[in-house]
Amino acid sequence: MNYRIECVPEFTVLAKIRSFDAKNAAEEIPKFWEEYYRSGNGAIACGQFGICFGGSADGTFHYGIGNRCEVEQKPDGATVCHVFNCPDLTRIPDGFEVRTIPAQTWLKVEARGALPKSIQSTYPEIEKEWPGGLERIYGMDIEEYGCCETPEDSQKDDYLCRIWIPVKLLGTEHYSVKTDVLTASEFNRLGCAAGWEMPSEKQSAAALRNSLVTFSLYNGGTLIGMARLIGDRAMAYMVREVVVLPEFQKQGAGTFLMLAVQQWIARDVPDGWRASCELFAAEGQRDFYQHCGFVALPHSGNENGMSTMIIGQK
């Protein structure tokens, strides 16, 4: 099962929502999608998301089809919805609603293949292969659909969707992250614990001083991990020296640290800008970083990463 864990800030969606009975939802929801497009709603919101908004004791739940939107309040009091298809909707179209999706940590699982079978078959797979260290939060699931140039694209074997399930990390209540408090001696000590050959404290101090930010991971009051960021604060960031002490590995500490790093970047980048975040994975850690949202090289658009060491002469 291919998945990643990601913190997503609060956002809004413009969606057409209908009530379904869990007993026949697998048959009725595909009909809802067919009707949605047949009625021309795809010209308003192309169907980026299918959202399960939670259920009732009687077995019914609300399901919506729609897109992410930005709601803008004009100085004259008017409300404008900006949607991918229709960037300047001055009123909410009949039958649509604006809903807020709260800030949340999500488990995002790939579903690859023809619809609706790929989505329907992935849910049992998620239950069977549920990742350790995560607790499911019930109340909302999201299906994120890939772009289609033609309706036939969604029937291809390589068509990619993602199922979002809200989660919380188990056993992380005692973890905390502080920024810009890491000392050179702590940096070198943690690096040695990871088996690395560390530079002098003078060189480490210069590296920390010139970093964008450093992260110190604590279990209670004990330092157990670190990371730092370098970059231009506009287009490119690089994560360096990610360490969690061996006795705290595979207990959610690394994921907790990496989520803190990614949240810092998201808050640092201006709204709407896209910035890359890169790292070198230590041997045996590729799967961990993929579950944190990183894509291994080579892949479409990028060859293998390359590096070299340069000896200073200043």
Alpha carbon distance 54, 26 (integer Å): 16
Residue 91's pLDDT is 83
If you ran DSSP here, which 8-state letter would residue 17 be given? E
What does residue 175 show for φ and ψ, rounded to 5 degrees?
A: -85, 145
Rounded to the nearest integer, the mean pLDDT of the chain is 92
Task: Reply yes or no on whether the pLDDT at 150 is more than 80.
Answer: no
Task: Reply yes or no on whether the pLDDT at 87 is more than 80.
Answer: no
Residue 151's pLDDT is 74
Residue 73's pLDDT is 83
Residue that has been written with the tokens 């009909």 in this structure: 31
Residue 269's pLDDT is 93
For the chain, percent of residues with pLDDT exceeding 70: 100
Task: Reply yes or no on whether the pLDDT at 207 is more than 90.
Answer: yes
Residues 103-108, mean pLDDT to the nearest whole number? 96
User: 99, 84, 109: which is closest to 6 by C-alpha?
Assistant: 109
Residue 79's pLDDT is 77
Task: Reply yes or no on whether the pLDDT at 310 is more than 80.
Answer: no
pLDDT band at 23 (very low <50, low <70, confident <90, very high): very high
Residues 282-286, mean pLDDT to the nearest whole number? 91
Which ranges of the chain does DSSP label H, i.e. alpha helix?
25-38, 117-128, 184-193, 201-209, 253-268, 286-291
Task: Reply yes or no on whether the pLDDT at 169 is more than 80.
Answer: yes
Task: Specify which residues 237 forms β-bridges with.
Answer: 231, 277
Pairing between strand 276-278 and 236-244? parallel
User: CB of 50 within 8 A of CB of 88?
Assistant: no
User: What distance lies between CA 70 and its chain's CA centroid?
Assistant: 19
User: What distance lies between CA 185 and its chain's CA centroid?
Assistant: 33
Task: Specify which residues 110 forms β-bridges with.
Answer: 162
If you ran DSSP here, which 8-state letter would residue 89 be given? B
Residue 156's pLDDT is 92
Q: Which CATH superfamily is domain 175-291 in?
A: Gcn5-related N-acetyltransferase (GNAT) (3.40.630.30)
Residue 307's pLDDT is 72
For the chain, what are the domain ranges? 3-169, 175-291
Helix (H, G, I), strand (E, B) or coil at 180: coil
pLDDT tens digits for range 286-306: 999 999 999 888 877 777 887
Alpha carbon distance 253, 189 (integer Å): 18
Query: Per mean pLDDT, which range of 87-96, 128-137, 258-267 is the poorest?
Result: 87-96
What does residue 93 show for φ and ψ, rounded to 5 degrees?
A: -60, 150
Task: Reply yes or no on whether the pLDDT at 102 is more than 90.
Answer: yes
Q: What are the CA-CA distances from residue 290 to residues 52, 166, 296 (Å)?
A: 26, 18, 7
Alpha carbon distance 257, 239 (integer Å): 11
pLDDT band at 176 (very low <50, low <70, confident <90, very high): very high
Count CB-CB contacts under 10 A for residue 251: 19
The token pair at 283 is: 């041997």
User: 111, 108, 91, 103: which is closest to 44 by C-alpha?
Assistant: 91
Query: Per mean pLDDT, which range of 70-74, 226-230, 233-237, 248-252 is the poorest?
Result: 70-74
The predicted model scores a pTM of 0.83
Q: What are the CA-CA distances from residue 213 to residues 171, 202, 219, 229 (Å)?
A: 26, 18, 20, 6
Task: Reply yes or no on whether the pLDDT at 182 is more than 90.
Answer: yes
Instruction: List the Cα angle 298/302/304 in 5-degree steps.
Output: 45
Residues 57-63, mean pLDDT to the nearest whole number? 92
pLDDT band at 252 (very low <50, low <70, confident <90, very high): very high
Residues 143-170, mean pLDDT to the nearest whole number? 90
Task: Reply yes or no on whether the pLDDT at 308 is more than 80.
Answer: no
Under CATH, which architecture does the 3-169 domain have? Alpha-Beta Barrel (3.20)
Residue 12's pLDDT is 94
Residue 261's pLDDT is 96
pLDDT band at 272 (very low <50, low <70, confident <90, very high): confident
Residues 77-95, mean pLDDT to the nearest whole number? 81
Helix (H, G, I), strand (E, B) or coil at 42: helix
